[in-house]
Amino acid sequence: VTERKRMEESLRQSEQRYRTILEEMDEAYFEVDLSGNYTYVNDAISRLLGYPKEELLGTTFRKQVNEEDTALLYGAFGKIFTNGKPVRDISYKAIRKDGEVRYAEIAGFPIQNQKGEVIGFRGIGRDVTERKRSEEQIRHMATHDALTELPNRMMFGQLLNHAIQAAKRNKRQLAVLFTDLDRFKIINDTLGHEAGDLLLKTIAARFKQTLRATDVVARLGGDEFVILVEEVDNPGQLVTVAQKILSTAMKPVSLMGEECRVTASVGISMYPKDGKDEQVLMKTADKAMYFAKEEGKNNYQFYSEDMTSHSIEQLSLE
């Protein structure tokens, strides 16, 4: 009897240690049955989800999971059930009681009975929201222009490549509109870089607002912008876009108490007519834009082979 009591006390203390660890640790810990209903939750998961423990117990975990991640979690638990082995690094979006979305990362383990059958699951995880947001910020900084928040050259190149592949598959046309602001340097030199930056931010916001949501506007650097227009049916469609760009650029901007105006020169190249890859399309649009500048600025030009021969003539004259 004494030996049994000693073993029972040892077991009680062991369980107490186990419960203390679970309750005091920073990691979220939970147990669910095969239906996904909570059978045990610790304080950390209660804090993460914003629910008192009693509100979680007996309810399905689905309520606190972003809808698009539900299948992912069921898939992970299904794998644990089938293999009887843990699955780690399960990332999903958790929905708090107040509706706030938090990022969570968990590892799932099987709960087995004496026969080794899986009768439920236990999970241990943590709130990784700050890390995820930092990663998103770093990704955004790598792919977007810091001043205007528009996609940068690298991201535009990726988007254009994807668009070319889609156009190739669907036998569609697309266009690149290379846009350069006229007189920007004068304003930048006269009123200073702060005014120049404000002008670029204003023009960028106006371009984005004027064009369709499906059109991509990017800043390449300096006063150069580029626009991707997909699913082009005819050149007339691009004339409308180019005219929108010209009229948007011409609208006055108030800078340092001065009303300033700039104009734009736009060069247009079309896939597949003027180029079948990103590099050639960008090059031909750029050439057409320089031709628009030579033609007196504040206008648009479609790329043509004549421009290339014209450029060669200019080089030979120089």
Q: What is the per-residue pLDDT for 308?
A: 60
Helices 129-143, 153-170: inter-axial angle, 10-degree rounding: 80
In the chain, where do the E strands start and end? Answer: 28-33, 38-41, 87-95, 101-112, 118-127, 173-182, 216-221, 224-232, 253-255, 258-260, 263-271, 300-302
Average pLDDT value for residue range 193-197: 92
Cα angle value 237/243/244 (rounded, 5°): 95
What's the one-letter identity of residue 20?
T
Q: What is the per-residue pLDDT for 37?
A: 95
Which residues span the domain enclosing 247? 144-317
Full DSSP string of 259-303: EE--EEEEEEEEETTT-SSHHHHHHHHHHHHHHHHHTTSS-EEE-
Q: Residue 227 and residue 211: Cα distance in Å, rounded?
A: 9
User: Which residues are marked as active site?
Assistant: 223
Verify that 78 and 104 share a domain, yes or no: yes
Verify that 122 and 158 share a domain, yes or no: no
Q: Does 231 reside within a domain?
A: yes
Q: What is the per-residue pLDDT for 314?
A: 46
State the DSSP code for 151. B
Average pLDDT value for residue range 53-73: 93
Indicate if the alpha-carbon torsion angle 205, 209, 211, 216 is positive or negative: positive
Q: What is the per-residue pLDDT for 310?
A: 52
Q: What is the per-residue pLDDT for 1?
A: 63
Verify that 20 and 61 share a domain, yes or no: yes
122 backbone dihedrals φ, ψ, rounded to 5°: -120, 145
Which residue reads 């969570």 in tokens?
Answer: 104
Measured CA to CA in angstroms, residue 19 lies from 12, 14, 25, 108 at distances of 10, 9, 10, 19
Measured CA to CA in angstroms, residue 299 lies from 139, 206, 274 at distances of 36, 18, 20
**Among 68, 101, 134, which residue terminates a domain?**
134
Q: Residue 165 and residue 152: Cα distance in Å, rounded?
A: 20
Indicate yes or no: pTM above 0.75: no
Q: What is the CATH number of the domain that holds 52?
A: 3.30.450.20
Measured CA to CA in angstroms, residue 88 lies from 44, 72, 76, 110, 112 at distances of 19, 13, 9, 12, 18
Q: Does 139 reside within a domain?
A: no
Mean pLDDT of the chain: 91
Verify that 167 and 279 share a domain, yes or no: yes
| pLDDT greater than 70 at residue 36 | yes
Average pLDDT value for residue range 256-275: 92
**Among 134, 153, 181, which residue terminates a domain?**
134
Average pLDDT value for residue range 275-295: 94
Q: What is the per-residue pLDDT for 318?
A: 39
State the DSSP code for 59. S
Instruction: Render pLDDT for 152-173 as a digit per residue (tens, 0 to 9).
Output: 999 999 999 999 999 999 999 9
| pLDDT greater than 60 at residue 317 | no
Q: How many domains does the chain have?
A: 2
Q: What is the per-residue pLDDT for 40?
A: 94
Count the Cβ atoms, other than its own, within 10 Å of residue 316: 7
